[in-house]
Amino acid sequence: IHNPNAPPAVAPLSVAELSRQIAAGTAPRVIDVRPPAGRAAAAFPGAHDVLDEDSHDRLAALPKDTPLAFLCHHGRSSRQAAEHFRGLGFTAVFNVEGGLDAWATEIDASVPRY
């Protein structure tokens, strides 16, 4: 059943488009949902937030029209996080398709793959 009050669906965001938006200064706020070990193995090169127990409430308190792009290793955990924030009422939620692995292969070969 369609709920007309539900926020828009989580939108896919390619690493190529994210890279273009970062360069243009129009990118959504990037939120890395990988565990600490993943972030230590390969950092996302750019301004971003991390999602953990300490930051969840702070991020959830952002204005609901703040564009958010969720990033993980391959794009699965980030989709779950994106759906969670959509459920909190955020209206511009993106999942970075392919995650940091796609970023390393398509955008920045200096980012370690793991």
The pLDDT assigned to 8 comes to 85
CB within 8 Å of 5: residues ≥ 6 apart? none
CB within 8 Å of 44: residues ≥ 6 apart? 30, 32, 71, 100, 103, 111
The pLDDT tens digits of the residues spanning 58-82 come to 999 999 999 999 999 999 999 999 9
Distance CA 86, CA 20 (A): 24
- Given the residues 72, 82, 102, 107, select the one marked as catalytic: 72
Residue 25 token pair: 């200064």
The upper half-sphere exposure of residue 10, i.e. CA atoms within 13 Å in the direction of its Cβ, equals 23
When pLDDT is averaged across residues 100-113 and rounded to a whole number, the result is 96
91 has catalytic annotation: no
Neighbour-count burial for 18-33, b at 16+ CB within 10 Å, e otherwise: bbebbeeeebbbbbbb
The pLDDT tens digits of the residues spanning 29-51 come to 999 999 999 999 999 998 899 99
**Contact by Cβ (8 Å): 82, 10:** yes
When pLDDT is averaged across residues 10-25 and rounded to a whole number, the result is 97
Q: pLDDT averaged over the chain?
A: 94
Please give the order of strands across the beta sheet that includes 93-96: 11-13, 93-96, 68-71, 29-32, 49-50
Q: Is the pLDDT of residue 55 over 80?
A: yes
Task: Provide the 10 A C-beta neighbour count for residue 9.
Answer: 10
